[in-house]
Protein backbone atom coordinates (compact mmCIF):
# COMPACT_ATOMS: atom_id res chain seq x y z
CA UNK A 1 0.00 0.00 0.00
CA UNK A 2 1.30 3.43 -0.88
CA UNK A 3 1.30 6.32 1.56
CA UNK A 4 -1.21 8.17 -0.62
CA UNK A 5 -3.55 5.14 -0.54
CA UNK A 6 -3.23 5.06 3.27
CA UNK A 7 -4.32 8.70 3.52
CA UNK A 8 -7.07 8.15 0.94
CA UNK A 9 -8.49 5.36 3.12
CA UNK A 10 -8.05 7.31 6.37
CA UNK A 11 -9.74 10.42 4.97
CA UNK A 12 -12.48 8.38 3.34
CA UNK A 13 -13.33 6.62 6.58
CA UNK A 14 -12.80 9.37 9.16
CA UNK A 15 -13.06 12.62 7.21
CA UNK A 16 -10.35 14.84 5.80
CA UNK A 17 -9.59 16.69 9.03
CA UNK A 18 -10.29 14.07 11.70
CA UNK A 19 -8.15 11.46 9.90
CA UNK A 20 -5.04 13.55 10.57
CA UNK A 21 -6.04 14.23 14.18
CA UNK A 22 -6.64 10.52 14.73
CA UNK A 23 -3.33 9.60 13.09
CA UNK A 24 -1.51 11.93 15.45
CA UNK A 25 -3.28 11.02 18.70
CA UNK A 26 -4.54 7.43 18.66
CA UNK A 27 -1.88 5.06 20.03
CA UNK A 28 -2.11 1.78 18.13
CA UNK A 29 -1.79 -1.26 20.38
CA UNK A 30 0.41 -3.44 18.15
CA UNK A 31 3.05 -0.72 17.79
CA UNK A 32 2.58 1.47 20.88
CA UNK A 33 2.90 4.38 18.46
CA UNK A 34 0.44 6.70 16.78
CA UNK A 35 -0.17 6.11 13.07
CA UNK A 36 1.97 9.15 12.24
CA UNK A 37 4.81 7.89 14.43
CA UNK A 38 4.50 4.41 12.93
CA UNK A 39 4.72 5.82 9.40
CA UNK A 40 7.82 7.81 10.36
CA UNK A 41 9.31 4.66 11.91
CA UNK A 42 9.00 2.87 8.57
CA UNK A 43 6.14 0.52 9.41
CA UNK A 44 4.19 -0.46 6.30
CA UNK A 45 1.10 1.70 5.72
CA UNK A 46 -1.02 -1.44 5.18
CA UNK A 47 -0.10 -2.74 8.65
CA UNK A 48 -0.94 0.62 10.17
CA UNK A 49 -4.28 0.80 8.32
CA UNK A 50 -5.16 -2.69 9.54
CA UNK A 51 -4.33 -1.69 13.14
CA UNK A 52 -6.42 1.49 12.87
CA UNK A 53 -9.36 -0.52 11.49
CA UNK A 54 -9.13 -3.08 14.28
CA UNK A 55 -8.85 -0.50 17.03
CA UNK A 56 -11.61 1.74 15.64
CA UNK A 57 -13.94 -1.16 14.75
CA UNK A 58 -14.12 -0.28 11.05
CA UNK A 59 -16.42 -2.88 9.46
CA UNK A 60 -14.82 -5.28 6.98
CA UNK A 61 -16.90 -3.98 4.09
CA UNK A 62 -15.42 -0.47 4.52
CA UNK A 63 -11.76 -1.43 4.90
CA UNK A 64 -11.05 -1.23 1.17
CA UNK A 65 -12.39 2.32 0.92
CA UNK A 66 -15.43 3.87 -0.64
CA UNK A 67 -16.57 2.98 -4.13
CA UNK A 68 -15.71 5.52 -6.77
CA UNK A 69 -17.89 5.42 -9.88
CA UNK A 70 -15.95 5.15 -13.15
CA UNK A 71 -15.53 8.24 -15.30
CA UNK A 72 -17.47 7.93 -18.56
Q: How far apart are the C-alpha atoms of 10 and 36, rounded to whole Å?
A: 12
Q: Could you tell me if residue 23 is inside a domain?
A: yes
Q: Could you tell me if residue 14 is inside a domain?
A: yes
| Domain extent for 24 | 3-62
Q: Could you tell me if residue 67 is inside a domain?
A: no
pTM for the structure as a whole: 0.89
Is the predicted pLDDT of residue 67 greater than 80, yes or no? Answer: no
Q: Could you tell me if residue 71 is inside a domain?
A: no
Q: Could you tell me if residue 51 is inside a domain?
A: yes
Q: Could you tell me if residue 70 is inside a domain?
A: no
> Which pLDDT does position 43 carry in this prediction?
98
Specify the number of domains making up the chain.
1
> Which pLDDT does position 71 carry in this prediction?
87
Tally the C-alpha atoms within 13 A of residue 48's C-alpha that lie toward its C-beta: 27
Q: Could you tell me if residue 32 is inside a domain?
A: yes
pLDDT digits (tens, 9 = 90+) for 24-61: 999 999 999 999 999 999 999 999 999 999 999 999 98
Q: How far apart are the C-alpha atoms of 41 and 21, rounded to whole Å?
A: 18
* Region 7-22 average pLDDT: 96
Amino acid sequence: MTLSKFWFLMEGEFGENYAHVLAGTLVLGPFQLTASEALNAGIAPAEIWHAVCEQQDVPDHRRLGRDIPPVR
